[in-house]
Amino acid sequence: MNRKILLTSCVLLLLSGLVSCTVPGKGNTGKEMPENCTLSKERLLDKIKGGWAGQTIGCSYGGPTEFRYKGTFIQDYVPIEWHDHYIKYWFDNFPGLYDDIYMDLTFVDVFDRLGLDAPADSFAVAFARSEYPLWHANQSARYNVLQGIMPPASGHWLNNPHADDIDYQIEADYAGLMSPGMPNTASEISDKIGHIMNYGNGWYGGVYVGAMYSLAFVSDDIEFIVTEALKTIPEKSTFFQCMSDVIRWYKQNPDDWKQTWFECERKWSSENGCPDGVFEPLNIDALINSAYIVIGLLYGNGDFDKTMDISTRCGQDSDCNPASAAGILGTVLGYSNIPRKWMPSLQEVEDIDFAYTTISLNDVYDMSFRHALRVIDKNGGKTEGDSVVIVCQAPQPVQYECGFEGLYPVKSVTVNKHLEDVGIFEFEGTSVVFRGYVQCPNPEYVAKAEMYIDGELAESVNLPAKTNARRNELFWKYQLPNGKHSVTFKWQNPEANAVIQLTGALVYSDAPVKIKHQ
């Protein structure tokens, strides 16, 4: 970042009445949240626009690297492409890249139509009935809602094997952008909406991101934002512990992000939830991917390009993580201070609706600005001419949650049989997840199937053939007594040319596997 520009920006903010404005990377010793801060409406809008713009740029920048680097960082010599029509290229050729944003826009639209007090069910139904493709926790939640399982049950880990995944982390930006200087209000919004699809660490990822966005309105100090926002997370959670480790490792190695990345992989990269990641190098868990956001923010030290590049080069979900990091820093800087090199590509699409929506960037700039003004007013702030006075909130921890506790993956079993040919499946442990899919020429076909464990009905489920309505996993059962179990299945409504393929099973126990070293 150009230090002269930043200092000039800080002076202007102080003259306009902002209580706290500091240079990024100077540390947070002795800093506290201001009681109030004043922003001009122009500056408030500029920051909101910066958040949405940064998110869009970051998502586009990391797009071609998404999940190509699993368990390894992207080496410095690997080029990451960019040109003046790059975002338009993604809009035209792979609009699904922007699930980070069109998911946000679903929630922004509900607020716009129904007001700040819209119930959780309104958000859940809006996203469940949408036409855009979803994956992981989002798709599992969509299935649950369409089957009548509403939030918060739709995101609970017992109903959603992807509850710890990154989903709400990548779509919580709106909560912070509409809650400037009010991280607890952002957490309240996330409590209502984030539990549609996530629980525990998966939910904490969104709470934390929302809080960082919120604090980006009242501080320019990146270390302060990262550390202060963490106060919204319960200290006994592994999410808090992981982010605390990243901050500590940064202080020990302030010039070597790769060392912190290595430490993070060593201690925090184990996956026990997402069925796509257990026994695989893929890790879409919010815990590790949130760590990559923090690494990018801290080591980027207020430099937009560097922040985005480091967060991308951490790997795994490497479009979503730079989207969040660049969005948070974009909020700190404001739209007007994002480096000019990124703007031609962005401005080319600002009037184009995101796929599956009727909302463009220019639309959401204005929508989020209106919502922020309402949230400020609702929480004791006020408008004074061309300025707004925000009653700031000292971050408070949300409730403690822990999903998949005491579950240790012990075996991955390949099956690859039609459901009716599986017969008896036997395993020893406490939990089992069966992976597979339904195929049928009739996309409206819904298979009805049952799973019996030890002779008793464990699940009776609907399995839609339609991709957008699918159940990510065919069956699962957690928290069984530890021991030997037998599983059988019944397909209640077989149809000609329809197939239920059971591809494999994940088995869990109540203790980790002991590896014997020769």
The confidence score (pLDDT) of residue 21 equals 37
Q: Where are the alpha helices (DSSP H) in 431-489?
A: none
Q: Is residue 322 part of a domain?
A: yes
Q: Note whether 108 and 51 are within 8 A (CB).
A: no
Tell me the CATH number at 414: 2.60.120.260
- What's the CA gap between 369 and 374, in Å, rounded? 9
Place of tokens 């929630």: 107
**Do 289 and 365 belong to one domain?**
yes
The confidence score (pLDDT) of residue 33 equals 87
Tens digit of each residue's pLDDT (9 = 90 or more) over 332-384:
999 999 999 999 999 999 999 999 999 999 999 999 999 999 999 999 999 99
Residue stretches of the chain with pLDDT short of 70: 1-30, 518
Q: Is residue 396 part of a domain?
A: no
Question: Taking CA 307 as the corner, what is the angle to CA 303 and CA 308, rounded to the nearest 5 degrees?
Answer: 120
Could you report how far apart the first and last alpha carbons of the chain are, in Å?
A: 52
Q: Is residue 515 part of a domain?
A: no
The confidence score (pLDDT) of residue 5 equals 32
Tens digit of each residue's pLDDT (9 = 90 or more) over 446-481:
999 999 999 999 999 999 999 999 999 999 999 999
As beta bridge partners, residue 437 has 501
Range of the domain at 476: 408-509
Specify burial of residue 450 (Cβ count, 10 A radius: 0-12, 13-18, 19+).
middle
Q: Which of 196, 207, 276 is nearest to 239 (CA)?
A: 207
Q: Which of 48, 80, 49, 89 is nearest to 345 (CA)?
A: 89
Q: Note whether 1 and 329 are within 8 A (CB).
A: no
What pTM does this model have? 0.94
**Do 292 and 437 belong to one domain?**
no
Tell me the CATH number at 126: 1.10.4080.10
Q: Which of 41, 92, 13, 82 is nearest to 343 (CA)?
A: 82
- Lookup: tokens for 142: 């969509």
Q: Is residue 399 part of a domain?
A: no
Q: Is residue 228 part of a domain?
A: yes
Handedness of CA 217, 175, 399, 212 (dihedral sign): negative
- Lookup: tokens for 303: 């430099």
The confidence score (pLDDT) of residue 518 equals 62
Q: Note whether 363 and 78 are within 8 A (CB).
A: no
Question: Taking CA 465 as the corner, what is the angle to CA 464 and CA 466, rounded to the nearest 5 degrees?
Answer: 90
**Do 213 and 254 belong to one domain?**
yes
**Do 352 and 420 belong to one domain?**
no
The confidence score (pLDDT) of residue 15 equals 33
- What's the CA gap between 381 and 366, in Å, rounded? 19
- Lookup: tokens for 49: 């626009």
Spell out where 35-109 has E strands. 36-40
Cα 6 from chain centroid? 29
Q: Note whether 209 and 199 are within 8 A (CB).
A: no
The confidence score (pLDDT) of residue 163 equals 98
DSSP for 458-501, please give it. Answer: EEEEEEESSGGG--SSSEEE-SPPSEEEEEEEEESS--TT-EEE
Q: Is residue 422 part of a domain?
A: yes
**Residue 485: how many CB atoms within 10 A of its CB?**
20
Cis bond upstream, residue 152 (ω within 30): yes
Tell me the residue type at 497. Answer: N
Domain count, the chain: 2
Tens digit of each residue's pLDDT (9 = 90 or more) over 390-420:
999 999 999 999 999 999 999 999 999 999 9
The confidence score (pLDDT) of residue 385 equals 93
Q: Where are the alpha helices (DSSP H) in 400-462?
A: none
**Do 162 and 39 belong to one domain?**
yes
**Do 281 and 338 belong to one domain?**
yes
DSSP class of 451: E
The confidence score (pLDDT) of residue 17 equals 38
Task: Tell me which H or E stretch contains 369.
Answer: helix 361-378
DSSP class of 285: B
Tell me the residue type at 72. Answer: T
- What's the CA gap between 57 and 326, in Å, rounded? 7
